[in-house]
């Protein structure tokens, strides 16, 4: 039953409710407060699992060039589950000619899924994960999932190339609140703008309440078919954590199959991991717990990186964009390693604003946080004095720089905080940030090709909000070219929402 149907049923029942009120309270008229809440009444019906697969999502556990993981949900009566897959064809050759509900056994491979039973506040459900292996790099496949009788639709995925070919990905901060009604337009606009993105990276707080099954259902409904064809990478936020015992939501591991190559520390499984994709090492850290325990693993993971680029994601920012939310323990533990091993880009969430830094090193950490932005030149010189070996070198040669752009060559990492959902906070003031914004839902598209990383942030309406290019230099630090349009309006603080 849809929410609309549930609401209609409540209205049909209204006379009984209205007559139950004694005269003088609401008379014989139905009062709006007497109506059953459609959302509450319909949640169990809307998000109850059935034998049909739902919440289908692509992820990776191993090499994206030769494997693909897929997870889905059914009711608890489905105890056997399978994935069928084959090379994508121009026509429906992968199904039986006489009965198109059946796969063509001469073309289609079958993989059995591993099943986890999980009891939510709404119902008991089975979560199934299948890993498709021995795939060919840079190849499009078609697949479906089911129990042999009840099947999902056929969908496509494309394996990664085995070499550092150009690619793009979508990055979003907190979806969190009113996900289906107000976040869906953002993720769908991002997909419209970049339909061939290799994956979507979520920097935590996908939902608001860790245990709320209807919120997880709303997250899947908002993305629609996107998760079935564009893999998901995600790091947990504080809202994926139970407040009482500081543990990650029981939804997390049944829902997502992520690499199991993190530190051997109980509780961090599939929240701390790395994945190599076409010349880039992506690293997920868990900023909710066990910060110091992740340091040895992080050092080894960064030191062993054979690739040109390194992108790290976690939820709580090293440099906060909202006052009163500083995270010095994270910064002191992790930033020295980011500096030592040349991490290029750090993607974060949590502060419900937008903030993008200049190239930053731990030297900037020695400077008072709340220096006015107009004093940035002084901050830079103080930073150089504080740590000469990490000091910035400003490149004044503006040749080959687009008109209106700024080029800087210096050591350091670009840090980004972003938000894609409707919950908004006020901005703080920090000289490290080169571009900020409040009261704006955003998505980001990152494109990597050879020695160039291109980053663009867009509003929910698809308007450019921020942009920069990082270029790898054969010797020496990265070059950062900032070229966000000067006429892009930056919203003022509109208060917490």
pLDDT at position 485: 57
pLDDT tens digits, 35-76: 445 555 566 778 999 999 999 999 999 999 999 999 999 999
Nearest by Cα to 425 from 332, 329, 317: 317
What residues have CB less than 8 Å from 183, skipping those under 6 apart?
175, 176, 222, 420, 421, 422, 441
pLDDT tens digits, 264-310: 999 999 999 999 999 999 999 999 999 999 999 999 999 999 999 99
Mean pLDDT of 73-84: 97
pLDDT tens digits, 413-457: 999 999 999 999 999 888 899 999 999 999 999 999 999 999 999
User: At 29, is the secondary structure helix, strand, or coil?
Assistant: coil
End-to-end Cα separation, the chain, in angstroms = 31
pLDDT at position 262: 99
Nearest by Cα to 50 from 24, 85, 69, 77: 77
pLDDT tens digits, 375-393: 444 433 333 343 334 333 3
**CATH assignment, 167-482:** 3.60.21.10
The mean of the pLDDT values for the chain is 86
Asked if residues 142 and 154 have their Cβ atoms less than 8 Å apart, the reply is yes
pLDDT at position 86: 99
pLDDT at position 365: 66
More reliable by pLDDT, 156 or 493: 156
Nearest by Cα to 348 from 428, 416, 437: 416
Rounded Cα gap, residues 294 and 433, in angstroms: 27
pLDDT tens digits, 323-344: 878 999 999 999 999 999 999 9
Q: Per CATH, which fold does 54-158 belong to?
A: Immunoglobulin-like (2.60.40)
pLDDT tens digits, 348-385: 999 999 999 999 998 876 553 444 444 444 433 333 34
116, with CB counted inside 10 A (0-12, 13-18, 19+), is: middle
Mean pLDDT of 24-34: 43
> Model pTM?
0.85
């Amino acid at each position: 039953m849809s929410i609309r149907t549930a609401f209609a049923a409540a209205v049909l029942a209204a006379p009984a409710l209205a007559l139950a009120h004694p005269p003088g309270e609401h008379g014989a008229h139905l009062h709006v407060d007497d109506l059953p809440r459609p959302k509450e009444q319909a949640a169990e019906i809307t998000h109850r699992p059935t034998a049909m697969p739902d919440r289908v999502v692509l992820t990776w556990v191993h090499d994206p060039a030769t494997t693909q993981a897929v997870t889905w949900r059914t009711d608890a009566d489905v105890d056997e589950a399978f994935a069928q897959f084959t090379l994508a064809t121009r026509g429906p050759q992968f199904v039986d000619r006489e009965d198109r509900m059946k796969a063509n056994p001469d073309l289609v491979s079958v993989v059995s899924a591993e099943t986890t039973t999980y009891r939510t506040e709404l119902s008991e459900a089975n979560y199934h994960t299948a890993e498709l292996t021995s795939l060919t790099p840079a190849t499009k496949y078609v697949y479906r999932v089911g129990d042999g009788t009840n099947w999902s639709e056929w969908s496509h995925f494309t394996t990664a190339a085995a070499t550092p070919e150009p690619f793009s990905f979508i990055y979003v901060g907190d979806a969190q609140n009113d996900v289906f009604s107000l976040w869906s337009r953002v993720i769908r606009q991002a997909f419209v703008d970049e339909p061939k993105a290799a994956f979507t990276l979520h920097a935590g707080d996908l939902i608001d309440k860790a245990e709320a099954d209807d919120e997880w259902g709303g997250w899947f409904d908002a993305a629609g078919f996107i998760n079935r064809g564009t893999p998901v990478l995600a790091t947990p936020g504080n809202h994926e954590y139970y407040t009482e015992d500081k543990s990650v939501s029981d939804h997390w591991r049944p829902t997502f199959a992520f690499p199991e190559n993190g530190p051997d520390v109980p509780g961090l499984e599939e929240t701390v991991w790395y994945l190599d994709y076409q010349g880039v090492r992506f690293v997920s850290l868990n900023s909710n717990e066990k910060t110091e325990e992740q340091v040895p693993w992080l050092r080894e993971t960064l030191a062993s990186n054979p690739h040109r680029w390194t992108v790290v994601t976690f939820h709580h920012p090293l440099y906060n964009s909202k006052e009163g939310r500083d995270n010095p323990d994270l910064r002191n533990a992790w930033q020295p390693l980011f500096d030592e091993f040349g991490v290029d880009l750090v993607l974060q969430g949590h502060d419900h604003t937008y903030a993008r830094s200049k190239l930053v090193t731990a030297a900037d950490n020695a400077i008072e946080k709340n220096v006015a932005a107009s004093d940035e030149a002084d901050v830079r010189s103080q930073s150089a004095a504080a740590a000469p070996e990490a000091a910035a070198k400003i490149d004044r040669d503006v040749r080959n720089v687009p008109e209106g752009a700024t080029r800087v060559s210096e050591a350091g990492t670009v840090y980004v905080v972003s938000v894609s959902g409707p919950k908004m906070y006020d901005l703080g003031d920090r000289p490290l940030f080169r571009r900020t914004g409040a009261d704006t839902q955003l998505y980001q598209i990152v494109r990597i090709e050879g020695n160039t990383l291109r980053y663009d942030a867009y509003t929910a309406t698809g308007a450019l909000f921020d942009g920069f290019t990082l270029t790898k230099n054969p010797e020496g630090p990265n070059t950062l070219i900032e070229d966000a349009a000067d006429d892009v309006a930056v919203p003022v603080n509109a208060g917490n929402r």
